Structure 1
Amino acid sequence: MKKNMMLLTLMLVLVLIVSACGKAAPAAQETTGNDSSSAATTEAKTIEVKHALDENPVKVKVNPKNVVVFDFGALDTLDKLGVDVAAVAQQDLPTYLSKYKDSKYASAGTLFEPDYEKISDLSPELIIIGGRQADAYKELSKIAPTISVAVDTKDFVNSFKKNVELMGQIFNKEDAAKQELAAIDSSIKAVHDKAVASKAKGLIVLTNEGSLSAYGPNSRFGIIHDAFGVTPVDPDIKVSTHGQKVSFEYVQQKNPDYIFVVDRGAVVVEEGKEQISGKQTLENELVKKTNAYKNGHIVYLNPNYWYLSGNGLESVSEMIKEIDAALQ
């Protein structure tokens, strides 16, 4: 009897010990596991983006939904990387991005006048803007995280590459972005070597309603000199968004070997204003005296790539091809 009582007591003690151990282990695992998993997940879902319009970094979700894009260069890059968007500025879209005029994409307003109400109704998780929307940044930021991808013309290639890499980070397309940039790097080197070997001097001009503006190194279209290697016929052209106003006498006196023409009127039609083509503007008796005209080296660049977009994966690739094809 005494032995039975001792055996029963021992069994009860063992049961209590096992029961206690069984409850303690899962509780500790759940707390540790959940805490570390939650922190890792949260960190993986957002990144901080620094840009020129805000002194504070902007928190952006990875793979955001209902993305609104104003900057055509960014739209170009996202299209090339296979990233879908919800809304764009449909007015003045480059022809090669005309698919975004489809009704499946919402119109976010114009390049200079966002439709804040419509954008708000979309509940976007990210808005991407460029230099043309700088004044709208504060209002757009009230709707959703907003980042500017305006390119620094003084360091165009590196600035452009950083934007592409950023799009790769945000949308989990880093490998694809790297492959595209590697191909562009190779193409830039080839056209640069060709330009340097030619020893030709070039002048970049923008034609608009019969007037002429020149662009030099570190300017809006300065990639032709800074990255592609074409020697500027005038290294002292004032850097300005709208270029330095010049005369036809100036073009004749500088006598460039190549004239690279961006025809704004070909892509931006303003009501009530006479449309004068770049060719009509430029090819007069004074310009016909230049080496560029005599040798057939007046190069009319595609303004869809150069003026409307200018900093996307496809546009930059096409810009390189145009300069490469022009150089002889």
Structure 2
Amino acid sequence: MKKWITAILVAMMFAVLAACGAEEEATDSQTADAQTTETVKVTHELGETEVPKNPEKVVVFDFGILDTLDQLGVESVAGVAQGNIPTYLEQYEDTEKYENIGTLKEADFEAIHAMDPDLIIISGRQAEMYNEFSDIAPTIHLGVDTTDYMNSFTTNMETVGEIFGKEAEVEEELAAINEQIEGIKEKTATSDEKGLIVLANEGKVSAYGAASRFGIIHDVFGVKQADEGIEASTHGQSITYEYILDTNPDMMFVVDRNAAVGNDASAKDSLENELVQKTNAYQNDKIIYLDPDYWYLSGGGLQSVSEMVNAIESAF
């Protein structure tokens, strides 16, 4: 009789332990599910998107965002537009590690769909394809608004920090950039030098003013404009070398598109002609050639904006 009662008690004890174990496993499973389904609501230029927290497989079209993820040590980049990748991001040309998802203007939707990504990040050049991307995976537009550069850039960086759990790192990077910018503004505020921003492209020249593609030089860094009447435009205002001489800038900031797209034509050879040589900028050795990797191909990233700040700081 005692053996029979003891057997029942032992069986009951194992049943209780088994039930507890099952409950703990269920709780652990629920916790894991909660972690994998945690999302971040991102409001961006093209809408509002629920994005998975710490996505494991990310497709990136914007080089500024790519350089930000690289700077933050995020290792979930799986697909990159590998045409014309900036030199400082050439590690992402490795086709064994990263899927080639097409070009900045022509996405390879078949390749992207086959990847089954958790997140797609685009900017202006891909905006028209937003719906097609969204059919594949959560898609966000993190392009920079050149009419409000620093606020737009800051919001993008904070969004990236929130998605990938890098808030503290982003805050530290932004603080360093802003401190450096304040130092530049102190110099430009007391300087009488006026600048002209130009894009050189196979012998043709375009000018950019405030609130334009390269307007950060005037809007953020405080460099005074040699011509305040330049129209705000993504592609710039077409100008002549006679215009440059008439405007006679004290400083000229040059973005060489030829170098950005691998063209052998030298912007310096065509730009520094007899007319331009008569300007204050040329005579005072103040023609500053900006690195097209940062200014033309990327921009809007932690690495590129930091280098853009360095370039303007060195000019003063």
Q: Check if 1:224 corresponds to 2:217.
A: yes
Distance 1:234-1:43 versus aligned 2 partners, 3 A rule: farther
Q: Which residue of the partner structure matches residue 91 of structure 2?
A: 99
CA distance in 2, matches of 1:227, 1:69: 27
CA distance in 2, matches of 1:211, 1:134: 28
Q: 1:40-92 CA distances to partner (integer Å, 9 max, x unpaired)? A: 937981011111123xx111000012100000000010100001200100110
Partner SS, residue 87 of structure 1: strand
Q: Which residue of the partner structure matches residue 265 of structure 2?
A: 276
- In the alignment, which of 273, 295, 307 is matched to residue 306 of structure 1? 295
Q: 1:241-287 CA distances to partner (integer Å, 9 max, x unpaired)? A: 110101111111111000000000101147xxxx4221022111111
Partner SS, residue 198 of structure 1: coil
Q: Check if 1:170 corresponds to 2:163.
A: yes
Structure 1 residue 326 displacement after superposition? 1.3
Q: Give the TM-score, by structure 1 length.
A: 0.85
Q: Which residue of the partner structure matches residue 187 of structure 2?
A: 194
Pairing of 1:133-152 with structure 2 (within 5 A)? 133-152=126-145
Q: Which residue of the partner structure matches residue 11 of structure 2?
A: none
CA distance in 2, matches of 1:113, 1:51: 22
Q: Check if 1:241 corresponds to 2:234.
A: yes
Q: Which residue of the partner structure matches residue 75 of structure 1?
A: 66
- In the alignment, which of 59, 70, 77 is matched to residue 50 of structure 2? 59
Q: One-letter code of the match for 1:131?
A: G
Distance 1:101-1:198 versus aligned 2 partners, 3 A rule: same
- In the alignment, which of 250, 269, 288 is matched to residue 277 of structure 2? 288
Query: Larger Rg: 1 or 2?
Result: 1
Distance 1:223-1:114 versus aligned 2 partners, 3 A rule: same
Q: Which residue of the partner structure matches residue 8 of structure 2?
A: none
Q: One-letter code of the match for 2:109?
A: Y
CA distance in 1, matches of 2:230, 2:85: 30
Q: One-letter code of the match for 2:265?
A: I
Q: Which residue of the partner structure matches residue 208 of structure 2?
A: 215
Q: Which residue of the partner structure matches residue 131 of structure 1?
A: 124
Structure 1 residue 288 displacement after superposition? 0.8
- In the alignment, which of 163, 176, 198 is matched to residue 205 of structure 1? 198
Structure 1 residue 132 displacement after superposition? 1.1
Q: One-letter code of the match for 1:76?
A: D
Structure 1 residue 138 displacement after superposition? 1.4
- In the alignment, which of 78, 88, 92 is matched to residue 86 of structure 1? 78
Q: 1:96-126 CA distances to partner (integer Å, 9 max, x unpaired)? A: 0000011211111111111101111111010
Distance 1:140-1:44 versus aligned 2 partners, 3 A rule: closer
Q: Which residue of the partner structure matches residue 297 of structure 1?
A: 286
CA distance in 2, matches of 1:252, 1:196: 25
Structure 1 residue 197 displacement after superposition? 1.9
CA distance in 1, matches of 2:121, 2:138: 9
The unaligned stretches of length 5 or more in structure 2 are 1-15
Q: One-letter code of the match for 1:299?
A: I
Q: One-letter code of the match for 2:284?
A: N
Distance 1:161-1:44 versus aligned 2 partners, 3 A rule: farther
Q: Which residue of the partner structure matches residue 158 of structure 1?
A: 151
CA distance in 1, matches of 2:262, 2:312: 26
Partner SS, residue 68 of structure 1: strand
Q: One-letter code of the match for 2:278?
A: K
* RMSD between aligned residues: 2.2
Q: Which residue of the partner structure matches residue 259 of structure 2?
A: 266
CA distance in 1, matches of 2:117, 2:38: 16
Find runs of 4+ consecutive structure 1 residues off by over 3 angstroms.
40-44
Counting aligned pairs with the same residue, the percent is 55
Pairing of 1:27-46 with structure 2 (within 5 A)? 41=34, 45-46=38-39
